């Protein structure tokens, strides 16, 4: 084992170092973030995806702590899996972040077994050979931090997810003082959020949306239904403020939205006046012009509040002509079709729909190019490692860094699993770890691989056909009608003719084959004949199986 | 049957009246466009989607002609299906549009049986009670037209797909004279392209991209690989011009790109100098700085040229460090993940990738809000029917029309299948036709419905398990190991224990059941037991089937 300092981004699909990042020195390591991702559209049946942290176990590293930058799912969603692999590891986070984590641990019955350590931005934390200085950042969820990690090789600054919001909703701007102080002390390497590196200019402040909401609230004559991310507490606070200004009450629908608002109110991150919130079943006691409904479902997720409303399948609500629906979120790539469908269905039911980017009701939580240059100039690192984003975003971020004066040989654009090593103040690329991420499907973690996915793909495309053929053990003659079971291949009520032909072909094959032929060989012949019939008649290629009974 | 004039938009997924639109009067009808759509991500196994024209057959309407606005797939791709349903119907199109259609008819062996009637923009065509005046439009393919359809009820103007490009690549601007002339004569109704109705301002001219290509060609030191739509002939011409300016030769890869360039060159729409084009297998005889490769694959389609290059699976080419890849197209919604993956993989292989909207290398072919207002002002129709676009786009287009002075009661925002009727100069909404679109899967048209798709969805999510249980016919005892066939459920090499448990449960069920129990009942018990085991052990719900042999 090398004595070098090692930085290893892991997990994520296209994105690098977002779900998890490991900083290791000798036999000690810390983990920054433990996030999950949702599968892409062609990862059939997969529930979600978590980072592949197997190498930490293989190397028997001593994980000294899990440090969380903020409470979003792509940064904390895999916490229970990671804690099962590294039981007893202390988890560090700000109060709100730990609030989100507690919910997960309780559900997984891990709360009692876990050491949760709440810190305040500005605190310094010790973890083995690392001394971690925390600093406040602004993003699209409150109580975000970045880290200044003092290591035996030097100071590593990790921005976490951020944008420079000078006028955040909670009035708490980024800790420029701390960031600048790091540069005074000398920064070995900066790891910075690349999500919006390809976007020119500056990302607008959250407060710039006040105008957009004001316009919507002024124009709306009926109810206002706002969908946003359940974790976007500052957006929720903004909507509360607009509701108060316009003398409307707020009802909440969607499990995660209800739970998050409850938790954030308890912790003091939301402070709704006593009479602002009303139960969802009481909205009809108020005039439509006095009602705001907060909902989940910005991504068109079929089971979320807004999709159920759009399809007329919501238990407690329905969309009425005159409702105004505000979709205050961006579309996560891959969800475009679902979101378009939801918007069109809402229009169909008579709602007026405001959506991003058509209306000014959402801004990104990530820094654009000019902010990234500001961060580079504030920190003035010797080495630069862009993280959080797809490879194309990291490459652009690297170009921004080069333009900001960092020599190209001091910039490491790497993919998940690639080790960046520092020794004696010099950076080099190390080995590549095997894993990138693991599929979680039901209770299985990492057991679904390419071969199962390939089978699911074939089944999804053309279904399957199974035939059971019963033969006389002595004569080899068919002694019953071949039985056919099929799903996903053809519409059965209209396919009787096709299967009659299939049975004929089976009869032909059985009649032609020698009784001494092995069962395997006979099955192959039957399956080949069926494949031919189905291909010819339908131009489809279902999976075909056969079973032969000898009676 | 009413004597009213009827306008019926059909086909398309979210989009309205794009793939097909019917104009009917009494027993006569004409069809405008016969397009296809690609399925959305959750329409598993479907090859493509075509309009459901069944009502035309049910009503036994006399289809007097098929009028094509332009040669894009979403306007001509279903031509062979429509001609099979309405054999002998004359097909009207400009020379290039008919060129695209001929290829399809030849493949489907329908060329001899079809009456193709080539017209030039400006021609007037007779079809039953309709007199169709054609006028030149600009879009993202040459030789586009709109139609002024003189009907017994008045003049209907249909824009086709368009933008107002004053400086098109082929130098042939839209026929403003004709459009304005219609308004002089009085227009009963305008049907206008709504695709970009939610976009503010004006869509830039195709020639504005010359700057973008010039910048790319100037900066590129190695090969330049440009991917664009195979039908985007003006874009292809633009790239040819850039190649000539920079003294590079062009090679082409991708079947549809090769075929389209051949056809367009024969018809005179492309005029490459004799020595410009080189065979793809000769590019290595030239220095990298002298080569341009034109390719398909802008949507990340796994089988297209660019994806194969990105994955290192191209027969003739590979991406080299120093290559510049230009993705000169927008991403069709639903393809975002595939396109992102392709871009990242190209970067991974060392290419520098230019893509839209980061670089100025693509513009839309559809009119933005200000152009749509200009069209409304030029045509000055009495009634307005927005078409081509999702419901949300049509609604916005309707708002633009209202803002342009058309009374809201004279605007019909309808969905596919809804009949808009005109009688005695008055518009009303008629009945709703049953069908919207049909799935094409293999050789089956319209046979795949929701139940098959639902089965495919379940199979795609968790696969299936089939057990064959062989019992003694007299004693009801198991006389062989239960045989299990499964796909898409678990990774078999690691699931032996699970299936051992499943076999144990089957033994238990068999031991517990009465020999007099019916086979159906016994199968249900076995399937319920298996469902329980799999659910408990894997939290997955595969489809479960069983078969009992009595021996």
Using a CB-CB cut-off of 8 Å, the residues of chain A touching B348 are 391, 415
Using a CB-CB distance cutoff of 8 angstroms, which residues of chain A are in contact with residue B198?
358
Instruction: Spell out which residues of chain B touch residue A461, defining contact as CB-CB under 8 Å.
Output: 44-45, 456
Mean pLDDT of the region A456-472: 95
Residue B200: pLDDT over 90? yes
* Start-to-end Cα distance in chain B: 64
The answer to whether A410 and A384 are in contact (CB under 8 A) is yes
Residues of A in contact with B327 (CB under 8 A): none
| Assigned token pair, B49 | 């989607």
Owner of token pair 């053929």: A469
Of B333, B348, B488, the CB nearest to A456: B488
Q: Which of A333, A343, A459 sits opposite B463 (nearest CB)?
A: A459
Q: How many angstroms away from the CA of A365 is the closest CA of chain B? A: 19
d(CA B488, CA B495): 12
pLDDT in tens, B460-500: 999 999 999 999 888 888 988 999 999 999 998 889 999 99
Q: Which residue of B has its CA nearest to A448?
A: B491
Contact list in B for residue A349 (CB cut-off 8 A) is none
Instruction: Work out the minimum CA distance from A438 to partner chain B, whole angstroms.
Output: 14
Encode burial over B6-16: b for 16+ CB neighbours within 10 A, e otherwise.
Answer: bbbbbbbbbbb
Helix, strand and coil content of chain A, in percent to the nearest 5, comes to 35, 25, 40
Question: Please, what is the average pLDDT of chain B?
Answer: 95
In chain A, what percentage of residues exceed pLDDT 70? Answer: 99
pLDDT at B435: 66
Which tens digit of pLDDT belongs to each residue from B314-340? 988 999 999 999 999 999 999 999 999
Question: How far apart (Å, rounded) are the C-alpha atoms in residues B137 and B375?
Answer: 12
Interface test with A, best of B45, B48, B537 (most A CBs within 10 A): B45
Per-residue confidence (pLDDT) for residue A435, from 0 to 100: 65
Residue B329 burial (CB count, 10 A): 22
Q: What is the residue whose two structure tokens read 């586009």?
A: B144
Burial label for A78, CB within 10 Å (0-12, 13-18, 19+), is buried
Residues of B in contact with A451 (CB under 8 A): 491
B356 Cβ neighbours under 8 A, 6+ residues apart: B327, B328, B329, B330, B331, B362
Phi then psi for residue B242, to 5 deg, are: -65, -40
Please provide the average confidence, as pLDDT, over all residues in chain A: 95
Q: B337 and A198 in contact by Cβ < 8 A?
A: no
Which of A336, A488, A549 is closest, CB to CB, to B459? A488
- Token pair listed for A13: 């699909």
Q: Is the dihedral of CA A11, A12, A18, A19 positive or negative?
A: negative
- Give the distance from residue B442's alpha carbon to the nearest chain A alpha carbon, in angstroms: 4
pLDDT value of position B474 = 86
- pLDDT computed for residue A331 by the predictor: 94
Contacts of B399 in chain A (CB under 8 A): none
Which chain A residue has its CA at the smallest distance from B346's CA?
A: A392
Indicate yes or no: CB of A392 within 8 angstroms of CB of B353: yes
Q: Is the dihedral of CA A94, A97, A103, A107 positive or negative?
A: negative
The shortest C-alpha distance from A181 to chain B (Å) reads 35
Torsion on CA atoms B346, B349, B351, B355, rounded to nearest 10: 10
| Distance (Å) from the alpha carbon of B361 to chain A's nearest alpha carbon | 15
pLDDT above 60 (res B1): no
pLDDT tens-digit map of A480-534: 899 999 999 999 888 999 999 999 999 999 998 877 788 889 999 999 999 999 9
Q: What is the pTM of this model?
A: 0.93
pLDDT tens digits, one per residue of A227-238: 999 999 999 999
pLDDT confidence band for B390 (50 / 70 / 90):
very high
- Give the per-residue SS3 of A276-314: CECCHHHHHHCCHHHEEEEECCCCCCCCCHHHHHHCCCC
Beta strand extents in A96-184 (DSSP E only):
116-118, 124-127, 130-137, 144-151, 154-158
| Chain A / chain B CB contacts < 8 angstroms | 183
Chain B residues close to A455, C-beta within 8 Å: 463, 487-488
Q: Determine the pLDDT at residue B551.
A: 81
- Residue in B415, B451, B490 closest to A452 by CB: B490
| Token pair in block for residue B419 | 């009949």
Residues B40-54 have a mean pLDDT of 94
Token representation of residue B9: 């938009």
The band of B375, judged by pLDDT with boundaries at 50, 70 and 90, is very high
Cα distances (Å, whole numbers) of residue A23 to A6, A17, A63, A126, A527: 6, 11, 10, 14, 54
For testing the chain A interface, which of B46, B355, B461 should be mutated: the one with the most A CBs within 10 Å? B461
DSSP A371-390: HHHHHHHHH-EEEEEEESS-
Residue of A nearest to B539 (CA): A442
**What average pLDDT does the segment B390-416 reach?**
97
Do residues A55 and A433 make contact, with C-beta atoms less than 8 angstroms apart?
yes
Query: What is the pLDDT confidence band of residue A473, given thresholds at 50, 70 and 90?
Result: confident
Contact yes or no for A491 and B456 at CB 8 A: no
In the three-class reduction of DSSP (H, G, I as helix; E, B as strand; rest coil), residue B143 is classed as: coil
Contact partners, residue B458, CB within 8 Å, separation at least 6:
A487, B541, B543
Strand A5-10 to B48-51 pairing: unpaired
Can you give the length of chain B in residues?
551
Residue A1 — very low, low, confident or very high, per pLDDT cuts 50/70/90?
A: very low
Q: Which residue has the tokens 């000539």?
A: B244
d(CA A23, CA A156): 10
Q: Cα(A404)–Cα(A410) distance, rounded to whole angstroms?
A: 12
Predicted confidence at residue B2, as pLDDT, reads: 53
> In this complex, do B333 and A334 lie within 8 Å of one another by their Cβ atoms?
no
Distance between CA atoms of B215 and B396, rounded to whole angstroms? Answer: 36
Nearest to A343 among B40, B392, B448 (CB): B392
Q: What is the pLDDT of residues B106-157, one digit of tens each?
A: 999 999 999 999 999 999 999 999 999 999 999 999 999 999 999 999 999 9
Angle at the Cα of A189 (from A185 to A195), degrees rounded to 5? 125
Instruction: Using alpha carbons only, give the angle A239, A245, A247 rounded to the nearest 5 degrees.
Output: 100
Could you identify the residue written with the tokens 């030849």? Answer: B106
Which of A334, A395, A545 shows the shortest C-beta gap to B336? A334
Closest-approach residue (CA) in chain B for A453: B488
Using the beta-carbon criterion (under 8 Å), do B447 and A491 form an inter-chain contact? yes
Residues in chain A within 8 Å Cβ distance of B545 = 466, 485
Identified catalytic residue from B232, B366, B393, B397: B366
CB-based contact B488:B542 (threshold 8 Å)? yes
CA distance B278 to chain A (A): 31
Q: CB-CB: which of A344, A468, A490 is closest to B390?
A: A344
Residues of chain A in contact with residue B443, where contact means CB-CB under 8 angstroms, are: 537-539
Q: So what's the pLDDT on residue B513? A: 81
Per-residue pLDDT averaged across B414-432, rounded? 95
Nearest-by-CA chain A residue for B39: A337
- In this prediction, residue B163 has a pLDDT band, given cuts at 50, 70 and 90, of very high
A392–B198 CB contact, under 8 Å:
no
pLDDT digit string (tens) for B254-303?
999 999 999 999 999 999 998 999 999 999 999 999 999 999 999 999 88
> Could you give the CA distance from residue B240 to residue B276 in angstroms, rounded to a whole number?
8
| Positions of A marked active-site | 193, 366
Contact B63, B31 (CB under 8 A): yes
Nearest CB to A455: which of B347, B458, B487? B487
> Which of A38, A43, A44 has the highest number of chain B CBs within 10 A, making it the mutation to test binding with B?
A44
Q: What percent of chain B has pLDDT over 70?
A: 99
The pair of structure tokens assigned to B64 is: 């007097």
Average pLDDT over residues B55-76: 96
B193, B323, B441, B462: the active-site residue: B193
* B397 annotated active-site: no
Three-state SS at A2? coil
Cβ–Cβ gap A459/B461 under 8 Å? no
Sheet with B418-423: list strands edge to edge: B116-118, B91-93, B62-67, B28-32, B20-25, B5-10, B418-423, B426-432
Residue ranges of alpha helices (H) inside B191-327 are: 209-219, 233-245, 255-266, 305-310
pLDDT of A14 reads 81
How far is residue A317's CA from residue A283's CA, in Å, rounded to a whole number?
9
The answer for residues whose C-beta is within 8 angstroms of residue A438's C-beta and 6 or more apart is A49, A50, A51, A52, A445, A446
- Supply the DSSP symbol for B163: B
Q: Who's near A321: CB < 8 A, 6+ residues apart?
A: A349, A350, A351
Residue in chain B closest to A345 (alpha carbons) equals: B391
């Amino acid at each position: 084992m090398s004595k070098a300092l090692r930085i290893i981004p892991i997990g994520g699909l296209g994105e690098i170092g977002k779900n998890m990042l490991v900083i290791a020195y000798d036999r000690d390591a810390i983990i920054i973030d433990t996030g999950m991702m949702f599968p892409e559209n062609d990862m059939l049946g997969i529930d979600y995806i978590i980072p592949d942290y197997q190498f930490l176990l293989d190397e028997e590293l001593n994980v000294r702590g899990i440090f969380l930058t903020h409470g979003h799912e792509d940064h904390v969603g895999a916490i229970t899996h990671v804690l099962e692999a590294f039981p007893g590891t202390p988890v560090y986070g700000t109060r709100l972040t730990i609030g989100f984590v507690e919910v997960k641990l309780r559900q997984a019955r891990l709360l009692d077994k876990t050491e949760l350590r709440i810190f305040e931005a500005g605190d310094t934390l010790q973890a083995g050979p690392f001394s971690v200085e925390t600093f406040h950042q602004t993003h699209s969820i409150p109580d975000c931090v970045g880290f200044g990690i003092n290591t035996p090789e030097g100071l590593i600054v990790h921005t976490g997810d951020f944008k420079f919001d000078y006028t955040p909703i909670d009035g708490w701007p980024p800790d420029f003082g701390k960031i600048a102080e790091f540069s005074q002390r000398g920064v070995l390497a900066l790891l910075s959020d690349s999500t919006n590196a390809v976007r020119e200019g500056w990302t607008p402040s959250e407060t710039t949306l006040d105008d957009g909401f004001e316009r919507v609230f002024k124009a709306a004559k009926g109810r206002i239904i706002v969908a946003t991310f359940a974790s976007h507490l500052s957006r929720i606070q903004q909507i509360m403020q607009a509701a108060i200004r316009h003398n409307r009450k707020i009802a909440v629908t969607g499990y995660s939205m209800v739970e998050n608002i409850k938790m954030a109110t308890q912790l003091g991150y939301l402070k709704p006046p006593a009479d602002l919130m009303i139960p969802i079943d009481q909205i009809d006691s108020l005039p439509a012009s006095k009602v705001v409904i907060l909902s989940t479902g910005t991504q068109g997720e079929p089971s979320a509040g807004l999709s159920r409303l759009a399809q007329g399948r919501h238990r407690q609500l329905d969309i009425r002509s005159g409702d105004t629906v505000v979709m205050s979120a961006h579309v996560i790539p891959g969800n475009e079709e679902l979101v378009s469908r939801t918007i069109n269905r809402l229009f169909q039911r008579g709602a007026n729909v405001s959506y991003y980017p058509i209306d000014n009701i959402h801004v990104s939580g990530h820094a654009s190019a000019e902010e990234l240059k500001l961060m580079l100039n504030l920190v003035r690192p010797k080495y630069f490692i862009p993280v959080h984003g797809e490879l194309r975003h990291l490459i652009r971020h690297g170009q921004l860094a080069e333009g900001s004066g960092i020599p190209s040989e001091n910039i490491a654009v790497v993919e998940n699993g690639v080790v960046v090593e520092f020794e004696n103040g010099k950076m080099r690329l190390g080995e590549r770890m095997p894993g990138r991420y693991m599929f979680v499907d039901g209770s299985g973690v990492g057991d679904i691989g390419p071969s199962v996915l390939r089978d699911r793909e074939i089944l999804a495309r053309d279904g399957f056909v199974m035939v059971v053929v019963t033969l006389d053990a002595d004569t080899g003659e068919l002694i019953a009608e071949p039985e056919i079971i099929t799903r996903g291949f053809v519409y059965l009520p209209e396919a009787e003719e096709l299967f009659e032909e299939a049975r004929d072909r089976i009869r032909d094959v059985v009649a032609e084959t020698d009784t001494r032929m092995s069962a395997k060989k006979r099955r192959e012949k039957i399956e080949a004949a069926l494949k031919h019939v189905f291909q010819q008649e339908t131009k489809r290629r279902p999976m075909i199986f056969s079973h032969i009974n000898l009676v």
